[in-house]
Structure 1
Amino acid sequence: MVGGPPPGPAELEARDACAWFGDHLVLEGVNLRMRAGEVTALIGPSGCGKSTFLRLLNRMHELVPGSALAGEILLDGEDIYAPGRRAQEVRMRIGMVFQKPNPFPAMTIRENVLSGLKLARIRCDDKERLVEESLERAGLWREVKDRLDRPGGALSGGQQQRLCIARSLAVHPNVLLMDEPCSALDPTSTRRIEDTIAELRGQVTVVIVTHNMQQAHRVSDHTAFFLAEENQPGQVIEQGPTAKIFSTPDDPRTLDYVQGRFG
């Protein structure tokens, strides 16, 4: 493949990241290191800035009218918001999977997987191999290998979500962001998505927003707990190895949240 991102997982780091919608400060002073090849879970109640932070990480926040940001987001030490840095290049290296599966319904399964290459004008000499590899990595190949020319929109919800993961993986990103990827799925589909995340560990850096504490505990290496106190912007209250965050966190608010006392 020619023209794609450099291969392998990359480290993401937020330094004093802040975000506004108009005059409203929604996220303040986030410092968070997301290690290469690991899975980082972002947890916290609704409205505390987790999804906004996720969108800062691949320059989607700037697409919202009236939005603003401050601080730095570093990809392997380089600021993704540096002057002259193209947003399209950043989004190739830092892919996104959304809460609701969004395959292109009029495209076939094969076309969906390859659509990112076409948009980014990446040349691939063996598209069939890439389709198989991407679907295999997303845990979908065995289920669809005999119907690649059928519409992507005809798949089940869980299969559509894994197709979206395959589409993101086809351009070989260094980082994959996931915004509550299982919230609309049944338990069986959720398990398959979690299995996919486990398979991707070490191949790509994963950052996942989830409200499912058991899921965060199962899939992640590192966890960051976000919280917005009343009339205050969202902040990271605590972060650390997932096992510690869920067993012996330093802040009592973290323990209250992971044990379901609020949120």
Structure 2
Amino acid sequence: MTITDAHVSTVKLPAVGAARPATLEARDISAWFGDHKVLDRVSLTMPAQKVSALIGPSGCGKSTFLRILNRMHELVGSASLAGQVLLDGDDIYDRGRRITHARREIGMVFQKPNPFPAMSIYDNVLAGLKMNGIKASRADKDDLVEECLTKGGLWKEVRDRLRQPGGALSGGQQQRLCIARSLAVRPRVLLMDEPCSALDPTSTRRIEQTIGELKDEVTIVIVTHNMQQAQRVSDQCAFFLAEQGTPGVIVEHGPTEVMFTNPQDSRTNDYVNGRFG
């Protein structure tokens, strides 16, 4: 992807703390790829300043649901959906709401780290500013890079090599760089699609620590297949399931401790205790 100054407008860099964490609410979300229905009337509230974990077997619609939360689902030509996604009560799919605005407020960190490989660590952090038409002085950019890399748990490791390519970092460092890049545009919600699945245990622990440090500043929604990780990092869980070719639904959701120690549905109990999935 090429980023040029042609995309830059006169929008100013948000002040630190200007974007408060938001509550995200999905109401009766159904989703299709062509004629294939993958989600059926899914509703879930993801509270501000909390970590919500989406758990369930592969193929039950968790990642599709996550992509619906910041309008990435509609990038697929055959995709369609019904329902509402509310950011502090405002529907992000409202016809008067720009898709770029929704994605700025609701950031995404993907399963595979995707820094711009030839771009420096410094410029990777700032990439979202140009994409979103945000101008900043050099001093503000320097401060922002340090702030976001610190929040991403990476500053101490890279502060002496900010001009080196982001693609030269290790996998775990690249993932933390992607988190720092997402934070630079001051999102109110951060979505994470299995951010640790390809990482070693040490990098996974560092990402989990970063999640814990960030949740007071940004609402976090994470898809994970790692039940121990869901227990460690999340405040609430939603268990997705698609049975016998039916669309994915939420079987049960609630506080993480309750979901793992006293679930109401036997299928939830079987899943969190490793009996299937």
Identity %: 68
Q: C-alpha separation between the residues in 2 aligned to 1:143 and 1:255?
A: 41
The CA deviation string for residues 183-237 of structure 1, in whole angstroms up to 9 with x for no partner, is 0000000000000000001110000000000000000001000000111000000
1:2 matched to 2:12? The reply is yes
Q: C-alpha separation between the residues in 2 aligned to 1:76 and 1:24?
A: 31
1:230 matched to 2:274? The reply is no
Q: C-alpha separation between the residues in 1 aligned to 2:168 and 2:156?
A: 16
Q: C-alpha separation between the residues in 1 aligned to 2:19 and 2:151?
A: 15
Is residue 4–residue 92 contact of structure 1 (8 Å, CA) maintained in 2?
no
1:95 matched to 2:99? The reply is no
Is residue 105–residue 152 contact of structure 1 (8 Å, CA) maintained in 2?
yes
Q: C-alpha separation between the residues in 1 aligned to 2:106 and 2:13?
A: 15
Task: Report the AA paired with residue 266 of structure 2.
Answer: P
Q: How does 1:87-236 map onto structure 2 within 5 Å? A: 87-125=99-137, 126-236=140-250
Tell me how many residue pairs correspond in the alignment.
263
Q: C-alpha separation between the residues in 1 aligned to 2:13 and 2:181?
A: 17
Is residue 19–residue 27 contact of structure 1 (8 Å, CA) maintained in 2?
yes
The CA deviation string for residues 159-202 of structure 1, in whole angstroms up to 9 with x for no partner, is 00000000000001000000000000000000000000000011
Is residue 43–residue 225 contact of structure 1 (8 Å, CA) maintained in 2?
yes
Q: C-alpha separation between the residues in 1 aligned to 2:53 and 2:59?
A: 16
Task: Report the AA paired with residue 152 of structure 1.
Answer: G
Is residue 57–residue 73 contact of structure 1 (8 Å, CA) maintained in 2?
yes
Q: C-alpha separation between the residues in 1 aligned to 2:194 and 2:14?
A: 27
* Structure 1: stretches of 5+ with no match in the other structure: none
SS in 2 for 1:225: strand
Query: How far does residue 124 in structure 1 lie from its aligned partner after superposition?
Result: 2.1
Q: C-alpha separation between the residues in 2 aligned to 1:4 and 1:209?
A: 28
Task: Report the AA paired with residue 102 of structure 1.
Answer: N
1:12 matched to 2:24? The reply is yes
CA RMSD of aligned residues (A): 1.1
* Equivalent residue number for residue 3 of structure 2: none
Q: C-alpha separation between the residues in 2 aligned to 1:3 and 1:108?
A: 21
SS in 2 for 1:163: helix
Q: C-alpha separation between the residues in 1 aligned to 2:40 and 2:175?
A: 31
Q: C-alpha separation between the residues in 2 aligned to 1:123 and 1:198?
A: 30
* Equivalent residue number for residue 56 of structure 1: 68
Q: How does 1:233-248 map onto structure 2 within 5 Å? A: 233-248=247-262
Q: C-alpha separation between the residues in 2 aligned to 1:173 and 1:240?
A: 25
SS in 2 for 1:160: helix
Query: How far does residue 3 in structure 1 lie from its aligned partner after superposition?
Result: 5.7
SS in 2 for 1:224: strand
Query: How far does residue 100 in structure 1 lie from its aligned partner after superposition?
Result: 0.2
Q: 1:44 aligns with which of 29, 45, 56?
A: 56
Q: C-alpha separation between the residues in 2 aligned to 1:3 and 1:203?
A: 17
Q: Which runs of 4+ in 1 moved over 6 A?
A: none
Task: Report the AA paired with residue 93 of structure 2.
Answer: Y
The CA deviation string for residues 235-254 of structure 1, in whole angstroms up to 9 with x for no partner, is 00000000000000000000
Q: C-alpha separation between the residues in 2 aligned to 1:151 and 1:236?
A: 41
The CA deviation string for residues 41-82 of structure 1, in whole angstroms up to 9 with x for no partner, is 000000000000000000000000110000000000000000
Is residue 100–residue 181 contact of structure 1 (8 Å, CA) maintained in 2?
yes
Q: 2:92 aligns with which of 70, 80, 105?
A: 80
SS in 1 for 2:43: strand
